[in-house]
Chain A
């Protein structure tokens, strides 16, 4: 087919709709091994479904003609590979973000590189995605790098995966081959916690099952790629998640205004609720939720707000404000699974810092216990790890900080590891286990727990009102003791 003919038959099917759509943007990762056709698949999706403007079409057709890599065909990957080096070498080096909308939904596609040496860029992309398209070349099946990418998707918290078995045109649209690859992937995915795996046979170059249904594969009755993407539910937060707001900074202004600025990472808070600084255990009542558009009554997950409390907790950046009941752990020992991103391998002697939501904590010591084997996806004992490895490790902190488990609350359970010398981000990880910090309950600190307060609170039961009253009394006792110079930690049952 000639270029001109293609350009006429492949006109955009939908123009951007000015009407607001009900759903938020779906963040979509494309990954898989090099040369399996990621950029081409996404280029094809953009070309057929929406988001390519006329000047971009003209540019791509012009460049395709100049390079003629696919004979007379359009090189759809040119829509994604925006760096000069990428175009010269015909590879993807870094992730590209492409925004488009169809009549039904808004998308951002995060196209990631397949080369092993650029895995750190793929991990960056994966951590921002709701859902992943994992591409496999139908001729070669699942490769080592496919397994590595699947493991990274799993690590960063992606739950839904589309297994796009591409280049079906190269294997005569063979159902048998397709089924074998799907079965292979489903069996290895047993190692992961994906909740939804959808396999789609496709051919990016011809567009089969990308937007248009393939006539060559009548045996496939599932959705096309676009049909699936327009209807899949994106990541939703569980209802009744506990409230967390990591403090980014303290804002001071005229009239003695003092507010804690941050983004609510989970749950919700209402004016009048009690909030607690997770590290000190000190509590206060929420007086105002302040924004430039006026005060709010409530704030919930995702809101960037400023909280004004009735008493000064003397906290700063790095603190986590929490509800009174289900609090994070004040931990100084943790176990985590991480993906190593730096070219310099893990060095037990190097100085690292743990960057959590808003805190930066020195690492006293760190050790690797196991590595994932990307052939079998099982763990094996190890003490070292290097670039692109996934490792389980144990980290001791120089002081305690407020942490959750990633499986419970991702945004207060994730971290990056920072090289203290040059500031580089050397690893990204998720917290799998924590131990309460010994430093906080040291010799000189009085812990106010149930047993210590049993006399004072003998009249209180387990109703919500009584629990609130328990908290109030504990706070009052703590204030009295602190004013007498006694360091106090309030311990609530969880």
Chain B
């Protein structure tokens, strides 16, 4: 038996309900797995929704080739241990042109290596629904999104034309050229995610916990020097700092925080007392006003 609080039990049940509704209504769903804490919970909820049957859909990871190395290790181990059907997709055109986060602005890099890559992968697989771990508490345009979020041709999102979604009723009937993004964790907060991980004893990427890591300070943010591909600016010298990450993504675009939180309890305490939002560490969200909404309109997750 689990020791979940009544609040987390309700959230869990709601997410399971959403997974089942989607699996029953869509022809070819896929689970967008991005390795972070939200994906960890998302995967766990999916397994609960269909247990003892196997997951009725594959996992898809869009690999920009710039993820933290520890993320890739964790991904492959998870897939093996759980016997998951994992598809890894990289935009090879972009990679061949060496589109990287150092020589290109974050918006260009993200568009080619993440947004376009995702669209390629979804089109290649012929998927009509993709599960994602996005939460409404993450960011202002996310706060506006439905659980079944319909996308027109080219995966575009029109925030003015969202389908009404009343009560627990999820209408998954697709119109011509429509696909859908499904967000089973819409109503979870960052604190809920960590409490759930603690109570369910879920394994997460070690980067969430504080440890001495090689870093540089750049433009007011602490970046980890994860491999030799990171070009150092004049005068920069990697120094060891005790850091951890609140969100995980591409290492050149993900800022670390200095922290002493080395286990889940310390981490939960630190997160609950945090006075800045988690997306403050995502460099790509600060490009311009409404950055996230613009990326989503173009098909970003």
Contact = CB atoms under 8 A, between A and B. Distances in A.
Contact of A87 (B6, B164, B289): B289
A24 B48 contact: no
B50 interface: yes
B159 interface: yes
Contacts of B143: 80, 82, 96-98
Contacts of B273: 15-16
B7 A127 contact: no
A248 B24 contact: yes
B290 interface: yes
Contacts of A254: 52
A251 B160 CA distance: 37
Question: For the side of the interface on B, what is the size category?
Answer: 35 or more
B173 A423 contact: yes
A145 interface: no
Given A84-B289, A357-B169, A248 B277 contact: no
A206 interface: no
Given A248-B17, A423-B175, A423-B178, A257 B52 contact: yes
Contact of B159 (A83, A302, A422): A83
A291 interface: yes
A414 B1 CA distance: 33
Interface in B137-161: 137, 139-144, 146, 159-160
B43 interface: no
B168 A411 contact: yes
Given A106-B7, A156-B166, A18 B269 contact: yes
A422 B175 contact: yes
Interface string A68-92: 0000000000001111110100000
A479 interface: no
A99 B187 CA distance: 8
B279 to A, nearest CB: 8
Contacts of A123: 164, 166
Contact of B140 (A95, A96, A290, A317): A96
Given A124-B166, A418-B171, A83 B141 contact: yes
Question: For the side of the interface on A, what is the size category?
Answer: 35 or more
- Contact residues of B: prevailing secondary structure: loop
Contact of A56 (B166, B186, B277): B277
A315 interface: no
A20 B7 contact: yes
A302 B4 CA distance: 14
Contact of A55 (B12, B160, B277): B277
Given A304-B12, A422-B175, A262 B144 contact: no
A53 interface: yes
A293 B5 CA distance: 15
Give the one of B173, B176, B191 with max A CB within 10 A: B173
Interface in B12-63: 12-14, 16-17, 20-21, 23-24, 47-54
Contacts of A414: 166-167, 169
A335 interface: no
B215 to A, nearest CB: 21
A304 B13 contact: yes
B6 A248 contact: no
A443 interface: no
B164 A341 contact: yes
A265 B268 CA distance: 33
Interface in B97-131: none
A239 interface: no
B171 A416 contact: yes
A251 B141 contact: no
Contacts of B144: 82-83, 94-97
A250 B144 CA distance: 33
B7 A24 contact: yes
A294 B52 CA distance: 11
Given A56-B277, A127-B166, A156-B167, A292 B51 contact: yes
A84 B290 contact: yes
B293 interface: yes
B16 A304 contact: yes
Nearest to A406: B167
Given A16-B191, A83-B290, A304-B49, A355 B7 contact: no
24 contacts: A15-B273, A18-B272, A63-B289, A82-B143, A82-B144, A83-B140, A84-B294, A96-B143, A98-B137, A123-B166, A124-B166, A127-B166, A128-B167, A251-B50, A257-B53, A261-B49, A263-B13, A290-B52, A292-B48, A293-B48, A304-B16, A418-B173, A422-B175, A423-B175
Interface of B: 1-2, 5-7, 9-10, 12-14, 16-17, 20-21, 23-24, 47-54, 136-137, 139-144, 146, 159-160, 162-169, 171, 173-176, 178, 186-187, 189, 191, 268-269, 272-277, 280, 289-290, 293-294
Given A127-B166, A253-B54, 15 more contacts: A24-B6, A24-B7, A53-B276, A80-B140, A82-B139, A82-B140, A85-B160, A93-B159, A97-B136, A97-B137, A123-B164, A156-B166, A411-B168, A423-B173, A423-B175
